Structure 1
């Protein structure tokens, strides 16, 4: 019986020792895990401290070049002055006052905008030219014929009326105004010029052109 009690006592004592050892191991594991958790928090602290550091600002030098003002050349200045002069001329013509009538003969390949640019320096004056000559041009301003004469208005102090010199031409048998224009002016469409210049003799009637008729022809057309 005593032996039985002794064995039970030994067994209980052994179990007590084993329980104490397990508890010690658990405490060590808990402490190690706490250390690991505390160690994991260190990088967060380091990161926060790094984020609070002032950022480095890089500055770059930007090269700037001085803008040198460009001045018009002598040729450009001359063109500007010429345009300004033509514009003043246009304004003088549009404004009722000291303007006179001059005649302009339409050249081959002319059109109203081209005439306006050449005579007044601005394209929009073609409307005024059309207004002055609507009786000759008709309803279509795009259709004009060479060797017709248009009325233009110019300031008195700038107008340069064209003056023509004439010579006599005796009509030969078989000739027409068409053939005479081709022979003397180099363009048979210039027959209309001969007709106008000799209206006093022909009275705009081509049947009155007879051999021996003396016509006056221009030494030049323009």
Structure 2
């Protein structure tokens, strides 16, 4: 009995071992035949966002707010009127100078200029052109440069022209005095020596650089009237 049991047990073990071997062999075949392949995870590409094209804005027109200067009609007409008046006055004086006018002498004051003389003598600054025309040889090419105590020729109507009259006093020249020094002392302006020369041309003669002591000169009580 014991032998039978052992034989049965050994058969069972053999059968079990065979079964286990078959199971293991089958599992290997399955593994070898069907290897598990790991598929790569698909990388999802992130779609690039479309770049927005820059919107070109048309430049807005710039309005020039600068206001063009508007010439005043009144000022323009006044300017024309002034020019017309100056032109008419010059024409009248031209006619007067040819027919019914007299020449007078005007001595230039310190600080004078032609337009100021024209305003004071004729009431119109535009007359400086006529004064320059009458005295161009004496003034020269530049009407802006005139010298004090020079005499200009002016033309005035006979009925308005006034003779220039001066009061004088006698002055006796001392030793070492000159017309320059006498003008500085008596007239407070050395350049007025030319006035002394004009007023005493008959006494001085050509020797004006060396005035003899004792010479009697006539000097004005006032340089300008």
2:122 pairs, out of 120, 130, 146, with 120
Q: Which residue of 2 aligns with 1:163?
A: 165
- Any idea what the Cα deviations from partners look like across 1:143-177, whole Å, max 9, x if unmatched? 11001111101000111121112221100012111
In the alignment, does 2:101 pair up with 1:99?
yes
- State how far apart, in whole Å, the 2-side matches of 1:169 and 1:197 are: 12
| TM-score, length-scaled by structure 1 | 0.57
**Within 1, Cα distance between the matches of 2:89 and 2:162?**
13
Distance in 2 of aligned mates of 1:140 and 1:183: 32
CA deviation string 1:169-213 (max 9, x = no partner): 100012111111111112111111001111112235323411111
Q: Aligned pair 1:189/2:181, yes or no?
A: no
TM normalised by structure 2 equals 0.56
Shift of 1:87: 9.6
Counterparts in 2 of 1:27-106, with a 5 A limit? 92-95=92-95, 96-106=98-108
The ranges of structure 1 where at least 4 consecutive aligned residues each deviate by more than 6 angstroms after the TM superposition are 86-89
Change (3 A) 1:87 1:214: farther
Matched residue pairs, number? 138
User: Does 158-167 or 142-151 show the bigger shift?
Assistant: 158-167
User: What is the RMSD of the two structures over their aligned residues, measured on CA atoms?
Assistant: 2.2
The 5 A counterparts of 1:122-141 are 122-141=124-143
Between Structure 1 and Structure 2, whose CA radius of gyration is higher?
A: 2
Equivalent-residue separation in structure 2 for 1:129 and 1:204 (angstroms): 30
Alignment partners' CA distance in 2, 1:87 and 1:197: 37
C-alpha deviation, 1:92, in angstroms: 4.1
What secondary structure does 2:218 align onto? strand
**Uncovered stretches (5+) of structure 1, i.e. residues with no partner:** 1-83
Contact 1:87 1:121 in 2 (8 A): no
Match of 1:20 in 2: none
